[in-house]
Amino acid sequence: MSLSTALEAIVAEAPGADGHRHIMRLAVNAAAAARNYPQPWHVELPVDTAERVTKLLTDLGDLATWGAPELGSLHEQLLAAEDRSASGSWYTPPELAQPLTRAALSEVTDLYLEDNPGDVLAVTVLDPAVGGGVFLVAAARLLAAAYTALLYGTNRPAPLTVQAVMPDVLKSCVYGIDTDPVAVDLAKSACWLETSGLTPIGWLDDNIIVGNALAGDLPPALTARLNSTGPLAIVGNPPYKDKAKGAAPWIEARRPKPGHRRTADELHRPSLDEFRIPGHGRTDGLMSNLYIYFWRWALWRAFETRLATASVAFITPSPWLTSPTFDGMRAFIRQSADRGAIINLTPEGKAPPGPTRLFPGVTLPLCAAVFTRCRGPQRQITAEVKHATVTGTRDEKFRQIEQLLSPAGQ
Ligand SMILES: C[S@@+](CC[C@H](N)C(=O)[O-])C[C@H]1O[C@@H](n2cnc3c(N)ncnc32)[C@H](O)[C@@H]1O
C-alpha cells in the first residue's frame, strides 16, 4: 500500500478532529509499546478500529524509532490527507532544528564550561509555535548532556545517566505553546519518550500549553520563571501566513502618539510600530504575515521584557532580509541584539527545485537566523551580523548548516 493510501485509510477509520487526535495518541502508544514503555494515553477508539490503525501504523515503519520528527510528520500528513488543499503546518526536520537549537543555546550559555550544574537548570527554552516539539527535544538532549557533564565531570555520560536527569531538565528548562491541541499532545509525547516513559504523560502540562502566543498566552510554569535572571532562548519555526491582518491585534495595534494617555498595557506589549518606517504606511499590508508578528513578539519577549542574556533563533521565509518593506524591522533587530547570524537556506529563490528543499512542501525561500543579546539594552550599538548561504541538495545543505552552526563554525 502506498503511503498516501495508508494515510487515507487511517483518516477514514476515525475522521474529524477528535478522530485525528486519538489516532495520534494511538501512534504514541504504539511507539511506546514498541520500546516496552507504558502506554501514556487513554485512546477513545473502538478496539477493532484501534487494531486496524495500529497495523497500518506498523506498516509505516519501525515504531520503536519514532520520536518528535516521525510523530510530527505523521500529524502533518494526516492533516493533508484530511484536506488535500490545506497548506499544512510544516514541521522542521531534526537536521535543521538540532543545529539551530544548539547555536541558540551556546549563544546564551557556554554548555562546555566547568560550572555549577544548577546553572544548566536555570536555562529556559521556549518554542512559541511548538508543533511536535522537535526544537524542545533537541534542547532537552543538549541541556541533559551538559547537566550530567557538570554533575559527573565527564563529557561522555552513560545514556542511562542522561535518561535519569531528563525529567528534571524537561520540567525546568523547556516550554511550548501551540494553538493546535494535537500538536500540544505530540510535543508532550515527544518529551515523554525522552524520559523513557518514566514520568506521567501530564508531567509537562504546565510547560507546554494550548494557547495563542500572539495574544500573550504563556505556560503557567513559565510566567514566574521569566522574572528570573537565567538565560532565555526562543526557538522555532513559526507559522507563515500572509494577509494575516487582524490575527494579532495586540501586536498590530499602534502605540499611542506622544502626549496621549498611555495605559500600562499599551506600554508593556510588543507593537509592529517598531518595525514601521514613518511615512511608509503602505507597507503595512506586506508586513501582515504571521511570521513577522512572531518575530516582533519574540524580540519583545527576549530583549524588551528582561535584562538577562537571551537569544531568538527562527526559521522563517526570507523576504525580510532584503525587501525595503522590512528596513525598519532589520534596523530594529540590529539595535535590539548584540550580534546575529543569518543563513540563506534557499539561494534558488521562489519555487526551488524539489531536491534542494529543506521542507519538501515549502516553495517559499527560507532563512535561519539567530540573534543574541548578552549585555542588556544598548541601543547605540548596532549588532554585527554574519551572513552565510547553503547550496546544493537537501543533504548537502544539512551538512553545511551543521558546520556553520557548530561551536567551531560560529
Ligand atoms: C510551521 S509549524 C512549526 C512547528 C514546530 N515549531 C516545528 O518546527 O516543527 C507552526 C505551528 O504553529 C502553530 N501556530 C499557528 N499559529 C499560532 C499561534 N498564534 N500561537 C501558537 N502557535 C501557533 C501551528 O499550529 C503549527 O503547529
Same domain for 102 and 37, yes or no, is no
Same domain for 346 and 200, yes or no, is yes
Residue closest by Cα to atom 5 of ligand 1: 131
Same domain for 226 and 182, yes or no, is yes
* Domain end position, chosen among 14, 47, 66: 66
Say yes or no: CB of residue 183 within 6 Å of ligand 1: yes
Say yes or no: CB of residue 209 within 6 Å of ligand 1: no
Domain assignment present for 8: yes
Same domain for 55 and 106, yes or no, is no
**Phi, psi for 303 (deg, rounded to 5):** -110, -20
Q: Which of 44-53, 168-177, 238-247, 284-293 tops mean pLDDT? A: 168-177
The whole domain housing 111 covers 94-404
- DSSP-assigned beta bridge partners for residue 366: 317
- Report the distance separating Cα 173 and Cα 50, nearest Å: 35
Number of domains in the chain: 2
Percent of the chain residues topping a pLDDT of 90: 66
Spell out where 73-204 has E strands. 124-127, 174-178
Domain assignment present for 72: no
Best probe residue, ligand 1, of 135, 180, 210 (max atoms within 8 Å of C-beta): 180
Mean predicted confidence (pLDDT) in 140-166: 89
Residue closest by Cα to atom 4 of ligand 1: 131
- Report the distance separating Cα 322 and Cα 317, nearest Å: 11
Residue closest by Cα to atom 10 of ligand 1: 239
- Report the distance separating Cα 388 and Cα 368, nearest Å: 10
400 CB contacts (<8 Å, ≥6 apart)?
390, 391, 392
Distance 134 CA to ligand 1 centre (A): 12
pTM confidence score: 0.94
Residue pLDDT, tens place only, 37-90: 999 999 999 999 999 999 989 988 899 999 999 999 899 888 877 664 454 467
Best probe residue, ligand 1, of 75, 179, 293 (max atoms within 8 Å of C-beta): 179
Contact 260, 294 (CB under 8 A): no
Same domain for 42 and 160, yes or no, is no
Q: Is residue 289 classed as helix, strand or coil in its secondary structure?
A: coil
* 303: DSSP letter: I
Same domain for 62 and 191, yes or no, is no
- Report the distance separating Cα 8 and Cα 402, nearest Å: 35
Say yes or no: CB of residue 94 within 6 Å of ligand 1: no
Residue closest by Cα to atom 6 of ligand 1: 130
Lowest-confidence segment of 1-5, 313-317, 363-367 by average pLDDT: 1-5
Grid cell at residue 344: 540563506
CATH of residue 369: 3.40.50.150
